[in-house]
Amino acid sequence: MQIRPLTPDDAAAYHAIRLASLKDFPTAYVTAYEEDAALTAEQLHERLTPDETGVTFGAFDSEQLVAIATLVRPERQRLNFRTMIVGMAVAPAHRRQGLASRLVARCVQHARSLAGVEEVCLSVTEGNEGARRCYLACGFVPDYTEPRYFKYEGRYYDIQWLRMPLV
């Protein structure tokens, strides 16, 4: 399994895994399937162009993209001491093989290389115990729960924020 930063050349594979995950596990994400389905090729290329505010990593089984995670750093000066892992997705056939943990580790490694970054944060939907256990095993600690963070099909979902101090 190879893990590397994605580039605009990976846009089609990235979009496929992202849309499949949004469709199959809608309560794991704040983003709606329809929102990402409407992205243009230009928007996808922009999303996958690594820069100082973000990079998306992909895990490949041979040449097939099977898992993704994005590390985002806020541009705002008062917030850029922190990075966030967002958009974690692992294809169902490749779950329980340690890919999520490896992607998290790669994101954390990259965060450590960024000057001034003191912590990595992420969130998990309450009830998504598999993801939560993974993040705790990676060294994240629960910070707080935000109630009614998003609404899907008439139901509100809470999210738990987790944090990993780097200093």
Provide mean pLDDT across the span 15-30.
Answer: 96
Whether residue 29 contacts residue 128, with contact meaning beta carbons closer than 8 Å, is answered with no
**N-terminal to C-terminal alpha carbon distance within the chain:** 30
Write the single-letter amino acid at 127: G
| pTM: predicted TM-score of the whole model, two decimal places | 0.93
d(CA 59, CA 67): 5
pLDDT at 9: 95
- Upper half-sphere CA count for residue 59 (Cβ side, 13 Å): 22
pLDDT at 21: 96
Would you say residue 52 has pLDDT above 90? no
pLDDT at 143: 94
Q: Where are the beta strands (DSSP E) in 77-166?
A: 82-90, 119-125, 141-152, 155-165
Would you say residue 74 has pLDDT above 90? yes
Helix (H, G, I), strand (E, B) or coil at 77: coil
d(CA 69, CA 122): 11
Whether residue 166 contacts residue 118, with contact meaning beta carbons closer than 8 Å, is answered with yes
pLDDT tens digit sequence for 89-125 = 999 889 888 899 999 999 999 999 999 999 999 999 9
Whether residue 4 contacts residue 58, with contact meaning beta carbons closer than 8 Å, is answered with yes
The CA angle 60-106-64, to the nearest 5 degrees, is 5
Structural domains present in the chain? 2-165 (3.40.630.30)
